[in-house]
Amino acid sequence: MASMTIDGGSTRCGVPTVASRTHPSRLLKSTKDVLLVTRLIKQADDLAAQVNVMAGANVAVAHHSKSETDADDIGRYDVLVVTHQAFVNAAETLAGASWSRLVQWKGGHRLLTIVDEALANVVEENKVTLESLQFVLGCVPFDVAQAFPDQVRLVEALKDALVQQAQSDTNDGTAKLMWRDGGASEVLNAAPAAMKPLREAMRKVKYDRRIREGNTKRNIAKLVEDTLASVQALADRWAYYTRIGKDHSLNSSTLTVSYAVPGAVVLDATASQNFLWELFQGRAQIEPVCAGARNYRNVTLHVARAKGVGKTTMEKTFAARYARLLEALEAQLGSDRSVFVCVHKDYEHSAERFKHPFKRVGFGHWGAVDGRNDWKDYDTAVLFGLPYRDLIWPTNVFFALQGVQDDVWLKTPTWKGYTNVRRLMQQRQMSVEIIQAINRIRCRKVVDEDGGCDPADVFIVLPADSMGDAILTDIKADMPDIEVVPWSFEMDGPKVRRPREGSSHQPLLTLMRNTEPGESVPLSTIQRELALKPAGLSKLREVLRNDTHATSKALVELGVKYVSGRGPGAKSFLVKQQVA
């Protein structure tokens, strides 16, 4: 268990953080005036229901976009449960009505905030690329440009600054600080302008009449909206330039949650590995888990080592590698197993298309498994492909928590004795995500007085370098007594043919669930992603036209609409509705 105190440790205004494997409801006892913050809507509903059962009265309520609770009525409940995103959105304006509703209670101010799992979105990142700025400028109609000249001039100034930096004779690919807070005007030769009027005007543009091929108007509208919002943030704050491959970009970030959160406790099971808390530097106090509280001697970690385990390489080889993986697992495990598979978000639907030789299989993807209990009874975890992050992410997080650094730091990022703190942050974040994924299965549940769990197997392919060594060290430190054994699996080799499942319906639902709101997916893309033959695509069209079919109903629940093209050459696609 670990506690963190912010702003001098004040009970009312400070933020104590507890990192442990404690369920949030166990911290409540008879406590009132509490705000509970959890990841998912379903978890919020479950927590509120559990608190009410414990209290024997209706003292807790979950408030979110799907609840029927009146926003002006939530203050009468002793315990309020919200999602991470709702908490962050409200915290962005501490003086706003949304924040007041969260922290005000019929007895005054709420004094305790319990956050279940570390806030993944505690840092807001903003980025514009040369390509996105050029695209947005090309989308602005002439009459709109005339109506909002200052805003368009600011977008052009950002583009010009990027072009100048990209073409500079001194540009060796190293990140460079472009301006600090308040210095944008001098560098851009254009005064920062309020982008909101231009954003509102661009929402009325009929993109489907201007662009006939490629993405639909929803995809384009989202790109324009996100880019203009980032332009505002970059002009108002500091910015630095970076180049990754051929991608030239300007970047900025900010901490989205104020240190004035009332008496917060964060339940972070991986706090000892999460470098975020170290960056709080004096504002966070982490208490280690009591010695002997847990042991993992019944868990066997099977480790293979290889190159090319990141998203980019896996994109080209996933199907072939996954077929080899299933062959190896079948030979080692047999069929009477329940297996949780964690892969990259973009490949989850592809994995579901394979025929799996196990009694039960569950799927998840990086960034969406932390804290979930869906697979708590499974006996096996398979982590295939690892969640690398580029150097922009650790730079943004470091700047948001430690302040803007100079060009010397961007070139040689040292801090507190660490010779390369950016690389360390990358590695430690990957360790956190891996440990979280491992503990989705039954090793998360204590079954005896010694802190042990039921037998479980974990299979992972780690990078064949020093980062892989460091990750393995972190796993063993966070999961004491875990048995580590070599796994003689090779991802690349002779091609293995494995049958695919007959139905494409569940993979389709997964594909659309993982699609961002506001985006659309052409049926031609769905055919490619799900490896459908022409006959399979025809059957899928029939299903999508049938509003009473179970798959069509499930798509509607996800906010997905089928748009059928009319006329020769017209395209059909699935559109995921933008969240209101």
Residue of higher predicted confidence among 454 and 65: 454
Is the domain of 465 the same as that of 509? no
Percent of the chain exceeding pLDDT 70 equals: 88
90: pLDDT confidence band, cut at 50, 70 and 90?
confident
Would the pLDDT of 264 be above 80?
A: no
- Mean pLDDT across 284-309: 87
Least confident span in 8-12, 124-128, 146-150, 411-415: 8-12
Q: What is the pLDDT of residues 160-214, one digit of tens each?
A: 999 999 998 788 878 999 999 878 887 887 777 888 889 888 888 876 544 433 4
Would 495 be classed as within a structural domain? no
- Could you give the C-alpha distances from 282 to 8, 15, 261, 316, in angstroms and in order? 9, 12, 16, 44
Q: What are the residues facing 365 on neighbouring strands?
A: 343
Paired tokens of 242: 């970076």
292: pLDDT confidence band, cut at 50, 70 and 90?
confident
Is the domain of 317 the same as that of 464? yes
Paired tokens of 307: 């190159």
Q: Which of 452, 486, 520 is the last residue of a domain?
A: 486
19: pLDDT confidence band, cut at 50, 70 and 90?
very low
Is the domain of 511 the same as that of 442? no
Would 202 be classed as within a structural domain? yes
Is the domain of 190 the same as that of 206? yes
Q: What is the pLDDT of residues 360-391, one digit of tens each?
A: 999 999 999 988 889 999 999 999 999 999 99
Is the domain of 78 the same as that of 113? yes
Annotate 331-365 with b (16+ C-beta within 10 A) or e (fewer).
Answer: eebeeebbbbbbbbbbbbbbbbbbebbbeebbbbb
Is the domain of 317 the same as that of 407? yes
Would 293 be classed as within a structural domain? no
Contact 396, 404 (CB under 8 A): no
Q: How many whole angstroms separate alpha carbon 559 and alpha carbon 514? A: 12
Positive or negative CA dihedral for 80, 82, 88, 89? negative
Q: What is the mean pLDDT of the chain?
A: 85
Is the domain of 22 the same as that of 54? yes
Residue of higher predicted confidence among 355 and 173: 355
Would 284 be classed as within a structural domain? no
- Which residue in the block uniquely carries the two structure tokens 């009459």? 143
The CATH number of whichever domain residue 410 belongs to comes to 3.40.50.300
Is the domain of 315 the same as that of 272? no
Would 59 be classed as within a structural domain? yes
Q: What is the pLDDT of residues 268-278, one digit of tens each?
A: 888 888 898 88
Paired tokens of 507: 């993979």
Give the number of other CB atoms < 10 A from CB of residue 514: 16
Would the pLDDT of 129 be above 90?
A: yes
Question: What is the Cβ-side half-sphere exposure of residue 397, based on CA atoms within 13 angstroms?
Answer: 24
Q: How many whole angstroms separate alpha carbon 391 and alpha carbon 425? A: 9
Is the domain of 315 the same as that of 380? yes
Q: What is the pLDDT of residues 51-60, one digit of tens each?
A: 999 989 999 9
Would the pLDDT of 500 be above 70?
A: no
- Mean pLDDT across 279-308: 86
Q: Which of 237, 254, 271 is the last residue of a domain?
A: 254
Is the domain of 459 the same as that of 542? no
Would the pLDDT of 538 be above 60?
A: yes
Q: What are the residues facing 127 on neighbouring strands?
A: 251
7: pLDDT confidence band, cut at 50, 70 and 90?
very low
Is the domain of 68 the same as that of 191? no
Q: How many whole angstroms separate alpha carbon 166 and alpha carbon 189? A: 18
Alpha carbon dihedral 403, 407, 412, 416, in 10-degree steps, equals -30
Paired tokens of 531: 């490896």
Least confident span in 97-106, 365-374, 396-405, 460-469: 97-106
Count the domains in the chain: 4
The predicted model scores a pTM of 0.84
Residue 93's domain comprises 7-122+257-279
Contact 341, 361 (CB under 8 A): yes
Q: What is the pLDDT of residues 428-445, one digit of tens each?
A: 999 999 999 999 999 999
The CATH number of whichever domain residue 543 belongs to comes to 1.10.10
Would 436 be classed as within a structural domain? yes
Contact 374, 364 (CB under 8 A): yes
Is the domain of 369 the same as that of 420? yes
Would 288 be classed as within a structural domain? no
Q: How many whole angstroms separate alpha carbon 357 and alpha carbon 326? A: 8
Q: What are the residues facing 123 on neighbouring strands?
A: 255
Q: Which of 454, 486, 518 is the last residue of a domain?
A: 486
Would 382 be classed as within a structural domain? yes
